[in-house]
């Protein structure tokens, strides 16, 4: 009996797809001239070096952190590919850092500050657990509303189509099909291990963990909420892994179903060119892992 295939995953970037293998980070983007830009690098992760990092609940925090770091870098690289292809100046390191800082600040204000601040206005009319529950629900609704709202932007719709291409390509690989458009196109754009499902689980579990959050001083309260993100992410990652490993189990199907439903917003049916890019990214990841001997037979 052959060993199971390693779990490959990734994300959509600007006009392209990022795939992470066991030891390889691979990127493929459609250039403005129509060609495909390919890039791969070997990653040195604690998940390969340390048994502790691979422990349940610890690995979820590592995966979250590495996804943010690697995903951000490759997103910027995909933007550079587009800028260079159009003859535009590459953004400076300062400009990139400023953009990243502004994005983080926006996310903190919208998804942490607004839910907390709005419920603080009700502190004389409800108990702390009730206020925290309302805060969690508001946070969850803001996240879903934000994703739905940006899905109408043409640029984001293209990113969501590449997202669908990534999932379809991963499905084909996991089912042992050839990596070509004819086979990839048969698969759905949703995948149970998707980062969207992970995000929804984090938000859902966060609604209930928020009940136990303190309301002492604003800085203490906000710091406590940020700290619990890692705890909630660790739990969510294990639930998602379990759901993906037992996707035929009715209970696990019920657990991952909301995430699959949300992917109706975050994925779109890709065209043949997008599928070609997703295949190129996975091919780079497989080639890189083959060089390091980490691809299962």
- Is the residue at 14 inside a domain? yes
- Is the residue at 238 inside a domain? yes
CB 180 within 8 A of CB 290: no
Q: Give the gyration radius of the chain's Cα atoms.
A: 20
**What pLDDT score was predicted for residue 271?**
96
pLDDT bucket at 26, cuts 50 / 70 / 90: very high
Residue corresponding to tokens 């953009």: 99
Least confident range of 16-20, 219-223, 276-280 = 219-223
DSSP state of 247: T
Count: domains in the chain? 1
pTM: 0.86
Under the phi-then-psi rule, with left for phi > 0, alpha for psi from -120 to 50, and beta for the rest, what region is 296? beta
- Is the residue at 200 inside a domain? yes
* Parallel, antiparallel or unpaired: strands 36-42 and 9-13: unpaired
What is the per-residue pLDDT across 42-73, written as a single tens digit (0 to 9) for each? Answer: 998 898 888 998 888 888 888 888 888 898 89
Instruction: Please check the confidence at residue 212 and state whether its pLDDT lies above 90.
Output: no
What is the per-residue pLDDT across 216-253, written as a single tens digit (0 to 9) for each? Answer: 888 888 888 888 888 888 888 887 777 767 777 787 77
Instruction: Please state, as a whole number, how many other Cβ atoms lie within 10 Å of the Cβ of residue 235.
Output: 16
Domain that holds residue 83: 9-292
Instruction: Please check the confidence at residue 76 and state whether its pLDDT lies above 70.
Output: yes
- Is the residue at 2 inside a domain? no
- Is the residue at 4 inside a domain? no
Q: Is 41 exposed, middle or buried (0-12, 13-18, 19+ CB in 10 A)?
A: middle
């Amino acid at each position: 009996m052959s060993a199971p295939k390693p779990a490959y995953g990734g994300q959509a970037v600007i006009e392209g797809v990022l795939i992470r293998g066991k030891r390889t980070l691979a990127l493929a983007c459609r250039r403005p001239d129509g060609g495909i830009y390919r890039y791969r690098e070997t990653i040195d992760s604690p998940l390969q070096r340390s048994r502790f990092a691979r422990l349940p609940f610890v690995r979820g925090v590592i995966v979250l952190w590495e996804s943010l770091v690697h995903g951000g870098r490759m997103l910027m690289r995909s933007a550079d590919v587009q800028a260079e292809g159009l003859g535009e100046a590459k953004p400076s390191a300062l400009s990139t850092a400023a953009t990243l800082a502004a994005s983080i600040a926006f996310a903190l204000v919208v998804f942490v500050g607004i839910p907390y601040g709005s419920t603080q206005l009700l502190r004389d009319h409800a108990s702390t657990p009730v206020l925290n529950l309302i805060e969690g629900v508001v946070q969850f609704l803001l996240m879903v509303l934000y994703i739905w709202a940006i899905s109408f932007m043409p640029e984001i719709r293209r990113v969501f189509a590449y997202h669908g291409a990534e999932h379809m390509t991963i499905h084909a690989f996991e089912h042992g099909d050839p990596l070509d458009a004819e086979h990839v196109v048969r698969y759905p754009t949703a995948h149970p291990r998707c980062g969207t499902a992970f995000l929804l689980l984090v938000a859902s579990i966060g609604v209930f963990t928020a009940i136990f959050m303190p309301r002492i001083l604003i800085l203490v309260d906000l710091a406590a909420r940020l700290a619990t993100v890692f705890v909630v992410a660790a739990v969510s990652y294990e639930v998602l892994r379990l759901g993906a490993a037992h996707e035929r189990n009715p209970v696990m199907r019920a657990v991952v179903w909301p995430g699959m439903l949300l992917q109706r917003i975050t994925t779109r049916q890709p065209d043949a060119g997008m599928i070609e890019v997703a295949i190129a990214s996975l091919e780079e990841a497989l080639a890189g892992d083959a060089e390091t001997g980490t691809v299962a037979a």
